[in-house]
């Protein structure tokens, strides 16, 4: 029955090939005789930029990027790139599937039934793996504020064999105490390597989630900015570098600074491809204040601009010519080091259109150019210098958190909301974009998204991911608890502020809510404990289990896991289908997926349900294998896409 596909734990697909006749797995391999033309090379670069260095293909990096297991052949290849101890393991770690699942935590969010905003509590490496299918190519902007590797902060100490088990032990969900987060001191011997091993697989996975017109921005300071730039060159491709923005994090130097006072941090930005189009900053009232109408021009307010260029007479000889002063009639020449901005013919046009300003009573020696307010572009082009007056500073960030939280000292290093809003205006031009922050911390990004949506009527969706790192303080046990509570209080404050207001200009009601998911073990039985024996013994092991699901599984948890496996995002709409009276059938839909998913996890699927299933050509129906009789499978096979657990 080729249309019936059994869903098993993806960890053991290869081991099961040929063992179970109902399991159909197709493995596609690259053909060694394949001929590459330039278009295919460009496509390969887009898929695996880490495999290119100095315009050439690094064979080993390409094979590893494709998931091949390489043996050390003793060659001492020389090529340009960033190398460090553990890089190969870090690369493989990004390709290792997760053994976890995301389970809903009802009651921890706000307006959970209607919201599309998400908070995910868990190890961000495992979470990124679980989001790969459902969010691939769908995220408009990623912002992260990872550990800066100062020697005092924590970094992830990834276990290259069983990272999920390490996470569960660290969070008290397994027997032994784990150490997923460790202090990375310079005395450790692999100070920079440890940090790079943490960042590399996460950036690799993050890149897959970005839309072609998407971008990622990473906060960092001088400790690792040079390594981060090289790392992102490899992961995203140096041709996709957007900018290194310098943010002024302080407004004054401390009097007790021992050396040169550190006043700045960086935001390193890369795009997914050349399709990225940065946004513009809105003009401020201060910028508009310089526009007036000194000569009562009927075209309205204007501001004067320099009529000279930055080119010399030798560089632009055609722009070095005399013009006549309208009052004296004498020739006026530009300086030899700064000739006129426009050609002679363009200048004559400017005169005819009354676009030159010679000062009060024609008193200027040289003219200035009139730029009219109504002709301005819709915004200001961003620069790489973001002063604290525009983007906020550290003290402002702490005060913002203090205004919301009872004890803001539990998270001492928040970012200012203005900084994140400014970044959103650059990277998330579309107002229905998905924004991801997988080092969410105190969730400044979430506050910025919610407030910006409220200000401009946008429908940006946020996905926050945060490890439940213990705070060691009363009140909020983990950093994740701080982030969730901050979002709750931001929403509460916004609701109070908008109470009684008539909100107009929206296609849909403002989304003031969020749902919480938590990383846990998969609902599918794990078979990796099987150490030896022949295939018959393994088949016997399968036969002894009545269900491939773990004991005590919950339908809502399995539904979420199935959704992600089938490419449906976590904010998909799920609804009980009332027409199936004897079975609980859930329909899953999303504006990001063209087809629909129907899931029934009852112990038996009744004939009435099978008869009533009206699936579209691409729709999928999923149920338990044990819930179908052989006769039911035959009936379902006719023109339907069915998968069984």
**What is the DSSP code (8-state) at residue 410?**
G
CATH of the domain at 394: 3.40.50.150
Quick one: DSSP state of residue 573? E
Query: And the tokens for 221?
Result: 């300071």
Pairing of strands 368-372, 241-248: unpaired
Phi, psi values for residue 369, rounded to 5°:
-95, 130
**Residue 449 and residue 462 in contact, taking contact as beta carbons nearer than 8 Å:** yes
Write down the pLDDT at residue 604. Answer: 93
Inter-residue contact 545 to 624 (CB < 8 Å)? no
Is 31 a member of any domain?
no
Is the Cα dihedral 413, 419, 423, 425 positive or negative? positive
Same domain, 397 and 512: yes
Is the residue at 44 inside a domain? yes
- Together in a domain, 413 and 477: yes
Tokens 């006549």, residue?
Answer: 324
Enter the tokens of residue 286: 């201060």
- Cβ–Cβ < 8 Å for 434, 591: no
- Total Cβ atoms within 10 A of residue 20: 13
Q: Which residues, at least 6 apart from 34, have a Cβ–Cβ distance to it below 8 Å?
A: none
Asked whether residue 233 falls in the same domain as residue 291, the answer is no
Residue the block writes with tokens 């429908």:
459
Q: What is 266-329 written as a DSSP string?
A: EEEEEESSTT-----BPPPHHHHTT-B-TT--TT--EEEEE-B-S--TTT-GGG---EE-TTT-
441: left (phi over 0), alpha (psi -120 to 50) or beta: left
- Same domain for 515 and 625? no
Rounded Cα distance, 492 and 501, in Å: 15
Domain assignment of residue 532, yes or no: no
Could you tell me if 431 and 457 are in contact, meaning their C-beta atoms sit under 8 angstroms apart? yes
Assign residue 360 a region (left: φ > 0; alpha: ψ between -120 and 50; beta: otherwise).
Answer: beta
214 and 303, same domain (yes or no): no
* Last-in-domain residue among 465, 485, 520: 520
| Domain final residue, candidates 321, 348, 375 | 375
Is there a single domain that holds both residue 137 and residue 247? yes
429 and 513 together in one domain: yes
Which DSSP string do the residues of 426-478 spell out, in sequence order? HH--STT-EEEESS-TTTHHHHHHHHHHHHH----EEEEEE---B--SSS-SB
> What's the CA dihedral at 411, 412, 415, 416 to 10 degrees?
100
Residue 407: left (phi > 0), alpha (psi -120 to 50), or beta? beta
Give the residue numbers spanning the domain of 394. Answer: 100-253+260-282+380-520
Q: How far is CA 486 from CA 131, 325, 464, 465, 482, in A?
A: 24, 64, 12, 14, 6
Tell me: do 209 and 343 sit in the same domain: no
What pLDDT is attached to residue 636?
79
Write out residues in the chain with pLDDT < 50, as ranges.
1-2, 6-36, 68-71, 73-74, 178, 528-531
Question: Domain total for the chain?
Answer: 4
Please state the pTM of the whole predicted model. Answer: 0.80
Residue entry with tokens 């996709």: 240
- Classify strands 302-306 and 241-248 as parallel, antiparallel or unpaired: unpaired
Sheet containing 620-623, strands listed edge to edge, beginning at the edge strand earlier in sequence: 4-6, 641-644, 620-623, 597-600, 585-589, 573-576
Q: How far apart are CA 323 and CA 340, in angstroms?
A: 10
Cβ atoms of residues 396 and 109 within 8 Å: no
Q: Is residue 527 part of a domain?
A: no
**Are 245 and 389 within one domain?**
yes
The whole-angstrom separation of Cα 606 and Cα 613 is 11
In terms of DSSP bridges, do strands 241-248 and 264-271 run parallel, antiparallel, or are they unpaired? antiparallel
Contact assessment for residue 488 and residue 110, using Cβ atoms and an 8 Å cutoff = yes
On whether both 385 and 370 belong to a single domain, the answer is no
Q: Can you tell me the distance from the alpha carbon of 242 to that of 273, in angstroms, rounded to the nearest whole number?
A: 10
What is the DSSP code (8-state) at residue 137?
A: T
Residue 525 falls inside a structural domain = no
Provide the total of helices (H) and of strands (E) in the chain, helices listed first: 20, 25
Of 336, 359, 375, the residue at which a domain comes to its end is 375
Residues whose CB falls within 8 Å of the CB of residue 26, separated by 6 or more in sequence, listed in order: none
- Alpha-carbon distance of 13 to 303, in angstroms, equals 69
Select from 450, 432, 449, 391 the least CA-distant residue to 415. 391
**CA count, 13 A, side-chain hemisphere, 350:** 19
* Rounded CA separation 242/46 (Å): 16
The residue assigned the tokens 């009527």 is 457
Place of tokens 């908070």: 119
Sheet with 385-386: list strands edge to edge.
100-104, 515-521, 118-121, 461-466, 434-437, 139-144, 210-220, 264-271, 241-248, 385-386
Asked if residue 533 is part of any domain, the answer here is: no
- Rg (the chain; Cα; Å): 30
247: helix, coil or strand? strand
- 356, 388: one domain: no
What pLDDT sits at residue 580? 87
The three-class DSSP label of residue 562 is helix
pLDDT tens digits, one per residue of 216-247: 999 999 989 999 999 999 999 999 999 999 99
Output the six-digit token pair for 539: 């088949």
**Closest by alpha carbon to 45, among 36, 131, 132?**
36
Cβ pair 617, 642 in contact under 8 A:
no
From the number of C-beta atoms within 10 Å of its C-beta (0-12, 13-18, 19+), residue 430 rates as middle
How far is C-alpha 142 from the geometric centre of its chain's CA atoms?
3
Asked whether residue 74 falls in the same domain as residue 220, the answer is no
Q: Is residue 10 part of a domain?
A: yes
Summarised one tens digit per residue, pLDDT across range 162-183 is 667 777 776 766 555 545 555 6
**Any domain includes 211:** yes
pLDDT score for 179 = 52
């Amino acid at each position: 029955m080729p249309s019936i596909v059994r869903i098993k734990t993806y960890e053991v697909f290869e081991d099961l090939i040929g063992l179970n006749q109902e399991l159909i797995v197709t493995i596609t391999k690259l053909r060694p005789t394949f001929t590459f033309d330039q278009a295919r090379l460009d496509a390969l670069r887009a898929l695996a930029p880490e495999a290119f260095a100095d315009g050439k293909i690094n064979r080993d990096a390409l094979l590893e990027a494709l998931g091949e297991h390489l043996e050390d052949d003793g060659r001492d290849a020389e090529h340009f790139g960033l190398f460090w101890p553990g890089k190969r393991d870090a690369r493989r770690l990004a390709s290792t599937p997760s053994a976890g699942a995301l389970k809903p935590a009802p009651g921890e969010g706000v307006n959970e039934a209607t919201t599309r905003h998400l908070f995910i509590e868990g190890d961000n490496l495992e979470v990124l793996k679980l989001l790969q299918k459902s969010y691939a190519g769908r995220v408009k902007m990623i912002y992260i504020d990872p550990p800066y590797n100062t020697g005092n902060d924590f970094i992830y100490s990834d276990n290259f064999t069983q990272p999920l088990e390490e996470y569960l032990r660290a969070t008290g969900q397994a027997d032994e105490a784990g150490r997923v987060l460790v202090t990375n001191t310079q005395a450790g011997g692999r100070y920079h390597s440890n940090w790079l091993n943490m960042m590399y697989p996460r950036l690799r996975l993050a890149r897959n989630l970005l839309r072609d017109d998407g971008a990622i921005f990473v906060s960092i300071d001088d400790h690792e900015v040079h390594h981060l730039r090289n790392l992102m060159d490899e992961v995203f491709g140096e041709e996709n570098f957007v900018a290194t923005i310098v943010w002024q994090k302080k407004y004054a130097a401390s009097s007790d600074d021992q050396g040169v006072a550190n006043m700045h941090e960086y935001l390193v930005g890369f795009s997914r491809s050349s399709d990225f189009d940065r946004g513009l900053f809105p003009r401020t009232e201060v910028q508009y204040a310089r526009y007036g109408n000194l000569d009562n021009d009927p075209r309205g307010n204007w501001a004067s601009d320099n009529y000279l260029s930055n080119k010399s007479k030798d560089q632009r000889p055609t722009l070095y010519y005399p013009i006549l002063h309208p009052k004296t009639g004498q020739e006026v020449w530009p300086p030899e080091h700064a000739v006129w901005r426009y050609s002679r013919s363009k200048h004559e046009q400017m005169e005819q259109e009354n676009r030159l300003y010679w000062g009060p009573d024609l008193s200027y020696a040289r003219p200035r150019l009139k730029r009219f307010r109504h002709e301005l572009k819709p915004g200001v082009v961003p620069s790489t210098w973001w002063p604290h007056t525009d983007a906020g500073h550290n003290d402002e960030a702490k005060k913002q958190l203090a205004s919301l939280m009872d004890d803001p000292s539990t998270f001492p290093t928040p970012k200012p909301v203005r900084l994140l809003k400014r970044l959103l205006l650059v990277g998330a031009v579309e107002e229905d974009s998905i924004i991801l922050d997988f080092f969410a911390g105190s969730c400044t990004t979430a506050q910025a998204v919610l407030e910006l949506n409220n200000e401009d009527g946008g429908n940006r969706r946020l996905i926050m991911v945060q490890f439940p790192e213990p705070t060691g303080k009363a009140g909020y046990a983990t950093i994740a608890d701080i982030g969730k509570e901050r979002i709750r209080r931001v929403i509460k404050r916004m609701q109070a502020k908008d109470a009684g207001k008539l909100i107009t200009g929206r296609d849909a009601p403002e989304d003031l809510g969020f749902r919480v998911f938590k990383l846990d073990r998969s609902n599918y039985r794990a078979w990796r404990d099987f150490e030896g024996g022949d295939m018959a013994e393994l088949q016997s092991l399968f036969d002894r289990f009545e269900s491939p699901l773990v004991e005590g599984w919950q339908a809502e948890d399995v539904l979420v896991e199935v959704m992600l496996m089938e490419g449906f995002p976590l904010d998909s709409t799920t609804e009980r289908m009332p027409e199936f009276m004897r079975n609980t059938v859930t329909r899953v839909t999303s504006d990001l997926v063209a087809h629909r998913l129907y899931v029934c996890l009852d112990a038996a699927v009744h004939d009435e349900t099978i008869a009533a299933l009206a699936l579209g050509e691409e729709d999928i129906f999923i149920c338990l294998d044990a819930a179908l009789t052989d006769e039911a499978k035959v009936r379902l096979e006719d023109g339907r896409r069915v998968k069984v657990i």
